[in-house]
Amino acid sequence: MADNPRIEELRRRIQKDPASIAFAQLAEEHRRAGQLEDAVRVCRAGLAQHPAYLSARITLGRALLEMARYDEAASEFEYVLKAAPDNLTAVRELADIEQRRRASAPSPPAAVEAAQPHQAEEAAQPHQAVEDAQPDQVVGELEAWLSVLAEERDSRAPRI
């Protein structure tokens, strides 16, 4: 498969200047092209020289998320939030990870439910109510958190 011209151009830029921050653009192009392992490799190599480059950490987190490597992805987004607490991309991606984890959580085995039908029905009713409330609860928690961040930002803003 021939690489796209943008990837080749960015590779040449990095070869000319290995300390360039163009690695983040190259990694993003790899990610968009579905070359997730390449995106992760390029990000990690570049972040070794530029560990505080938050955009590259977002790209790395997104690539890891697309690979279903949720713990690693969450670590990258959490790093970004520690450095920039109002980074909405990191907040959204962490919420996406939580949603994907819930969606992939195993349900109780059918054999257990069949063996104990009344207990399974009783247990499912409260559990269903919790499941229905969880997305709203997550949204509520995120909104509250964003409100606190906005207040902090406003309190730090220079007064004119």
Q: What proportion of the chain, given as a percentage, has pLDDT over 90?
A: 60
The model's pLDDT over 71-98, given as tens digits with 9 standing for 90+, comes to 999 999 999 999 999 999 999 999 999 9
pTM above threshold 0.75: no
At 150, is the pLDDT very low, low, confident or very high (cuts 50, 70, 90)? Answer: low
For residues 106 and 153, the answer to whether their CB atoms sit within 8 Å is no
In Å, how far are 20, 89, 145, 159, 160 from 156, measured between CA atoms? 32, 21, 17, 9, 12
Say how far apart CA 16 and CA 20 lie, in whole Å. 9
Neighbours of 85 (CB within 10 A): 15
The model's pLDDT over 24-62, given as tens digits with 9 standing for 90+, comes to 999 999 999 999 999 999 999 999 999 999 999 999 999
For residues 80 and 61, the answer to whether their CB atoms sit within 8 Å is yes
- What is the signed CA dihedral for 136, 140, 145, 146, rounded to 10 degrees? 90
Task: Please compute the mean of the pLDDT values over residues 131-156 and round it to a whole number.
Answer: 63
Residue partners of 6: CB distance under 8 A and separation at least 6: 29
Q: Look at residue 118 and tell me whether its pLDDT is greater than 90.
A: no
pLDDT at residue 126, rounded to an integer: 41
Could you write out the three-class secondary structure of 48-87? Answer: HHCCCCHHHHHHHHHHHHHCCCHHHHHHHHHHHHHHCCCC
pLDDT at residue 100, rounded to an integer: 92
Task: Please compute the mean of the pLDDT values over residues 106-112 and round it to a whole number.
Answer: 62
